[in-house]
Amino acid sequence: MTTPVPIIGEWSLEAPVTEEMKNICIEVAKQAGVHFDVFNPKTYMVQMWYGATNYLVKVKVGVDDKCLHAMLCRGICSDKVTEGSEATETGGFHPFVSGVQYPKALSDPLIPFEVKH
């Protein structure tokens, strides 16, 4: 399975989550102190930007088809970089949640949404 590769500034097509994306979601949930009995990332989209990568992820969080859509950012996305998204050993930044839409259904498509800072 390949990772979606968008043109700079544009969103990729929705694709099944990769192991790397699952790990990013788990890391972000731990940072946020969020716990769901079910937490299963399903699909995602990527937007590459100069100095940042945005992710929009559909995460199944219920026994039925209840999901959330989470906007994640890694890199120089906003003032969050200095507030807790410290640089990693490889020079990147830890991802953080910049927005959430909940509740969503499993059948709802991922549609990029505006995040208010």
Residue 79 contacts residue 99 (beta carbons within 8 Å): no
* DSSP character string of 10-57: SBPPPEEPPHHHHHHHHHHHHHHT---S--EEEEEEEEEETTEEEEEE
pLDDT number for residue 71: 94
pLDDT per residue rounded down to tens, the chain (117 residues): 556 666 889 999 999 999 999 999 988 888 878 888 899 999 999 999 888 899 999 999 988 999 999 999 988 765 444 444 454 444 457 788 889 999 999 999 999 998 876
CA distance 9 to 7: 6
State CA 7 to chain mean position distance: 18
CA distance 100 to 104: 10
pLDDT number for residue 84: 47
CA distance 83 to 98: 13
pLDDT number for residue 91: 46
Total-model pTM: 0.81
pLDDT number for residue 117: 61
**DSSP single-letter state for residue 77:** -
